[in-house]
Amino acid sequence: MERFFRSDFFYHFRHAPVAIVSFVTIILIILAAIFANFIAPTNPFDPASLNLMNGFTPPLEANEFTGERFLLGTDDQGRDLFSTILYGLRISLFVGLMAVLLAMVMGVLLGLIAGFLGGWIDSVIMRFADIQMTFPSILVAMLIYGVARGILPPEVRYEMSIVVLIISIGLSEWVPFARTVRGSTLVEKEKEYVTAAKMIGLTRQQIMLRHILPNVLSPVLVIATITFALAIIAEATLSFLGVGVPSTKPSLGTLIRIGQDFLFSGEWWILLFPALTLLALALSINLFGDWLRDILNPKLK
């Protein structure tokens, strides 16, 4: 820990305002989402607590029927927008994080195997990568969604839609990880420490996981940050197209889809606040990822 704070990396971090601001924003948003049930004034996911007559209340104004006030106003079902954004962030962040983890684990493993073992395994994996890239995540999501919908009963559909989202987004983003790791592995495996390890008699798994992997990780980190942002936007897009989470427990994307219908009619807050939140989140992640890439790129030193 001590070592970290004295490292070059942390030095650059402290002296880059962009990095600090974006990192802090990300942490704040994540904390807000985790502690949503303490921070949020209402639980928007509990239908019995909703009062339809609260619908369409502007921010900070008193509702004409119930007299209640809401920090960011209410949406079309009377949900407090501030609470809904917090709870929705949970979903967006969870899906994004899980999808990135899935993509990363899958991509790194496949990249390691392809690069290290080479030969026909490499060809097969790379061809799968090509096939994967054929289907944009939207198509993949719709396909998986349609199949699942046909099989599962409606009661489990909500949990299922989260899983479907994670799988479909994760499955469409593993290729950059795999390609990068494969490339680095190809380079690393020619190095002497690997030859040495082989001579000692370490198994292939041990060599791959304990020796090569740590050395190929830094570009992976950059890709992971960017993929995280992509995953969050992908979830928003899929929710917009109607393939994401259902509207009774909306994520940020769903809220934006709902808000879009009310953009022209004057209830601008329903669109604006979720959009700003999404923008802030994605922007911070992208900025941080950018900075990270610049820092970790040895060539620019």
Instruction: Name the site residues for another protein (rule: CB under 8 A).
Output: 46-48, 50, 52-53, 55-56, 65, 76-78, 123, 127, 130-131, 133-139, 142-143, 146-147, 150, 154-155, 157-158, 229, 233, 236-237, 240-242, 246-248, 253, 256, 260-267, 275, 278-279, 282-283, 286-287, 290, 299-300
- Decide whether 236 or 295 has the Cβ nearer to another protein: 236
How far is residue 187's CA from residue 189's CA, in Å, rounded to a whole number? 6
Q: Residues 36, 233, 176, 137: is their CA dihedral positive or negative?
A: positive
Instruction: Decide: 282 and 233 in contact? Cβ < 8 Å.
Output: yes
Least spacing, CB of residue 271 vs another protein, in Å:
8
Interaxial angle between packed helices 17-34 and 81-117, expressed in degrees from 0 to 180 and rounded to the nearest 10: 110
- Decide whether 1 or 48 has the Cβ nearer to another protein: 48
Least spacing, CB of residue 267 vs another protein, in Å:
7
How far is residue 244's CA from residue 142's CA, in Å, rounded to a whole number? 9
Least spacing, CB of residue 210 vs another protein, in Å:
27
Least spacing, CB of residue 211 vs another protein, in Å:
23
- Decide whether 62 or 279 has the Cβ nearer to another protein: 279
Least spacing, CB of residue 187 vs another protein, in Å:
13
- Decide whether 77 or 180 has the Cβ nearer to another protein: 77
- Decide whether 48 or 200 has the Cβ nearer to another protein: 48
Instruction: Please report the DSSP string for 174-230 in residue order.
Output: HHHHHHHHHHHHHHHTTSHHHHHHHHHT--HHHIIIIIIHHHHHHHHHHHHHHHHHH
How far is residue 86's CA from residue 249's CA, in Å, rounded to a whole number? 12
Least spacing, CB of residue 282 vs another protein, in Å:
4
Instruction: Decide: 142 and 243 in contact? Cβ < 8 Å.
Output: yes
Least spacing, CB of residue 138 vs another protein, in Å:
5
How far is residue 204's CA from residue 197's CA, in Å, rounded to a whole number? 9
- Decide whether 130 or 192 has the Cβ nearer to another protein: 130
- Decide whether 53 or 97 has the Cβ nearer to another protein: 53
